[in-house]
Amino acid sequence: MFEIFGIPSQALFGQLLIGLINGSFYALLSLGLAVIFGMLNIINFAHGAQYMLGAFAAYLLLQLTGIGYWPALILAPIIVGIIGIVIERTMLQWLYKLDHLYGLLLTFGLALVIEGVFRNYYGSSGQPYQVPSSLAGGHNLGFMFLPNYRAWVIVASLIVCFGTWFVIEKTRLGSYLRAATENPTLVRAFGINVPRMITLTYGFGVALAAFAGVMAAPIYNVSPQMGSDIIIVVFAVVVIGGMGSIMGAILTGFSLGIAEGLTKVFFPEASSTVIFVIMAIVLLTRPAGLFGRG
Amino acid sequence: MRKVIGAVAAAAVALGLGTAAHAQQTVKIGVLNDMSGLYADLAGRGSVAAAKLAVEDFAKIDPNLKVEIVSGDHQNKPDIGSSIATKWFDNEGVDMIVDVPTSSVALAVSQVAANKNKVFIGSGPASSDLTGSKCNANTVHWTYDTWMLANGTGKAVVKTGGDTWFFITADYAFGHALERDTSEVVKANGGKVLGAVRAPLNTSDFSSFLLQAQSSKAKVIGLANAGGDTINSIKQAAEFGIVKGGQSLAGLLIFSTDVVALGLPTAQGLVLTETWYWDLNDNNRAWTKRWQKEMGNKVPTMVQAGVYSGVLHYLKAVSALKQSKDGKAVVDKMKELPTDDTLFGKGSIRVDGRKIHPAYLFEVKKPSESKSAFDIYKLRATIPADEAFRPLKDGGCPLVKS
């Protein structure tokens, strides 16, 4: 067996794979943020809280109605997406003409309120949620033991990420969306209901966060602060990728997951800061982000 | 102008003296802990509720002492913790601070209490340095510490064949102390430590660290972390088939709230050490019922029970001395009086500030053995009070020599 920088290559492959899995969550979450920012110009600080809502929706569906993981994977994003639509209709829509800062403050406040309410009722140590029995267990790949559930995380996240990219960049619906962001008045002149399209886009972005939340429920602790733990990293990912760039968000999400995974092997103490170091370097050299157009 | 300032200052001093003399029978207690983060369930508002119960019970012993409770959120940050402590001691007339989970914050607060000659009773923190090299005459360490955890869980695991260890350690004062104390126990009992990895506090994904632990081939993976970090490590270890692969997990600091959060299917079989469990005897069950009236359907932890016990004993000392302003004198009195309450039974406080009581080795029940949601432990062994904590001479506390 050969070694790379003193680490056996087998261990390294394992770490790369794990980085990729964590990158899946970064990609899913930063994708939602990028879609919302790209189409609505809103910096959605409530994204972490909406991710947490997704996980809690799955937990509550199981506790209250006995609905298991697979239906929850569809239902929870729909429920949370509808909550997102209500938020957009009642609050966010008044802010589009104002400075970014207003949207940021509003969504940040919302995140604090949502988290506080859940902490009050469910405490901070979290709720149990088991891996679905159809995905329990795992396979020995030779260089590591890969739990089936983690493999599913990568596959599902790749499908959702590239599906979203395809819809927005390659379909007629996506071209309407992009056009509506560029010039809403003109698009409306063609008879397209722009406000409704924007509302649905926000709902979709929020649903993406909730989807990631359901995916996370069996492996991470389902607790009110699970969103605030991850959201700062995800924002760094979006900044590195370039605000509003969909492909940038996806690729950066996966690659930063890998970068973080490698740090956990070579210098574990720095693993919580490495992404911010990369962010600082990228901002210094390419202020618009790696994939930004501005 | 200078005269005016002088007059105002004199008036202020006079007023200050006046209130001090008048308030001789008033004691102010500050419950300082994590109210919103990962330790909010094991301490948080539940500790405030426990302190209130202690005040309620003390009123039956000495109705003349008026006790006031304030609370604060240190957010697990030493700078925030010590600035709240300073503000409370200097401006708000707080006489004693209790709880303070997160060892790094507790070490800072203990220093502040010593500088201002006030009292600090640590129920939440774990680092045994509080009564070791960093001890002082104003601090009492109440509920548990890293040496006791290592001695309880570590020794039990090594004795049952787990003689090679790999640590996953929370990268701050507490984790380091726990890893150090456990390593010593492992080595003293003929075991070997193969390695350790330091994970930042509040990590959500431990799979990378677990993989490193797996490839170390150690028989035991020691989790020198707490709260959400421990929950995530155990949850993910189950996923990665660590236990099925023949390695076992040793959760060195696991609270009842963590076990409830994990659920018995994941947590079953874990061995852990605590000094208090709600279902251990009738007294504890009765107290838990009272506590739940305030807190709802939650499970109390040993930290919260320790806050009750600590506050009660502190008030007894204040009542005996008839003063609460000279912190060192109060702590001396606390050390002189034997401790006795319904939750921890009879005990004492040593010269280094260490509260002494028995510890219990528990095993988490299988789901089939549990009769209710909070029925989670079975007792494996009781470690008597004189063996549960680090011997006085080994701590290196300067107070011991003098």
H helices then E strands: how many in chain A? 11, 4
Contact B235 A221 (CB under 8 A): yes
pLDDT tens, N- to C-terminus, chain A (294 residues): 456 566 667 678 888 888 999 999 999 999 999 999 888 888 999 999 999 999 999 999 999 999 999 999 999 999 999 999 999 999 998 888 888 889 999 999 999 999 999 988 888 888 889 899 999 888 888 888 889 999 999 999 999 999 999 999 999 999 998 888 888 888 889 888 988 999 999 999 999 999 999 999 999 889 998 998 889 899 999 999 988 788 999 999 999 999 998 998 889 889 889 999 999 999 999 988 898 765
Q: Check if the beta carbon of residue B353 is closer than 8 Å to that of residue B131.
A: yes
The C-alpha atoms of residue B288 and residue B279 are separated, in whole angstroms, by: 9
What is the mean pLDDT of the segment spanning B155-164?
Answer: 91
DSSP H stretches of helix in A93-222: 100-122, 148-170, 172-182, 184-189, 194-216
pLDDT at A141 (0 to 100): 84
Q: Give the pTM.
A: 0.84
A220: contact with B, CB 8 A cutoff: yes
CA distance B232 to chain A (A): 6
User: B47-82, pLDDT tens digit by residue?
Assistant: 999 999 999 999 999 998 999 999 999 999 999 999
Q: Which residues of B touch A137 (CB under 8 A)?
A: 241
CA distance B51 to chain A (A): 19
Distance from CA of A170 to the nearest CA of B (A): 34
Interval B365-386: pLDDT, tens:
999 999 999 999 999 999 999 9
**CA dihedral angle for residue B128, residue B173, residue B171, residue B227, rounded to 10 degrees:** 60
A129 within some domain: yes
Q: Which domains does chain B have, with CATH numbers?
A: 26-144+281-357 (3.40.50.2300), 147-274+359-388 (3.40.50.2300)
**Are the Cβ atoms of B202 and A8 closer than 8 angstroms?**
no
User: Which residue among B39, B200, B215 places its CB closest to the CB of A271?
Assistant: B200
Residues 6+ apart with CB under 8 A from B166: B193, B194, B195, B196, B197, B212, B213, B216, B218, B220, B221, B222
Which band of pLDDT confidence, cut at 50, 70 and 90, is reported for residue B284? very high
Evaluate whether residue A261 is within a structural domain: no
Residue B282's closest CA among B328, B343, B224?
B343
Interface mutation vs chain A, best among B235, B242, B256, most A CBs within 10 Å:
B235
Query: What is residue B150's DSSP assignment?
Result: I
User: Which of B3-7, B29-33, B117-121, B193-197 comes out lowest in average pLDDT?
Assistant: B3-7
Number of C-beta neighbours around residue B25 at 10 A: 15
CA distances, A132 to each of A129, A136, A219 (Å): 9, 6, 11
In a domain, A65, yes or no: yes
d(CA A245, nearest CA chain B) in Å: 26
User: Which residues of chain B neighbour A16 with C-beta distances below 8 Å?
Assistant: none
Task: For residue range B205-239, list pLDDT tens digits in order.
Answer: 899 999 999 889 999 999 999 988 999 999 999 88
In contact, B271 and B157? CB cutoff 8 Å: yes
Residue % of chain B over a pLDDT of 70: 94
Task: For residue A90, give its domain range.
Answer: 12-226
Query: Could you tell me if residue A285 is inside a domain?
Result: no
In single-letter form, the type of residue at position A128 comes to P
Instruction: State which residue of chain B sits closest to A10, comparing Cα positions.
Output: B215
Number of domains in chain A: 1
The continuous run of DSSP H or E covering B28 comes out as strand B26-33
Domain-embedded: residue A119 = yes
**Residue in A131, A230, A265 closest to B239 by CB:** A131
> b/e per residue, B309-344, with b = 16+ CB within 10 A?
bbbbbbbbbbbeeeebbebebbbbbbbeeebebbbb
Query: Do the chains contact at A124 and B266, CB–CB below 8 Å?
Result: no
37-56 of A, contacting B, C-beta below 8 A: none
CB nearest A272 (choices: B203, B235, B266): B203
Q: Is B209 on the interface with A (CB under 8 A)?
A: yes
Positive or negative torsion for Cα B266, B269, B271, B274: positive
Within a domain: residue A257?
no
Position A74 in a domain: yes
Q: What is the pLDDT of residue A1?
A: 43
C-alpha span between A20 and A256 (Å, rounded): 9
CB A40 within 8 Å of CB A202: yes
pLDDT tens track for A119-131: 888 888 888 898 9
Query: Would an 8 Å CB–CB cutoff place B223 in contact with chain A?
Result: no
- Asked if A287 has any chain B CB less than 8 Å from its own CB, the reply is no
- A242 lies in a domain? no
Question: Cβ(A291)–Cβ(A241) under 8 Å?
Answer: yes
Fill in the amino acid letter for B189. Answer: N
For residue B242, what is the nearest residue in chain A, using CA coordinates? A145
Tell how far CA B180 is from the center of its chain: 18
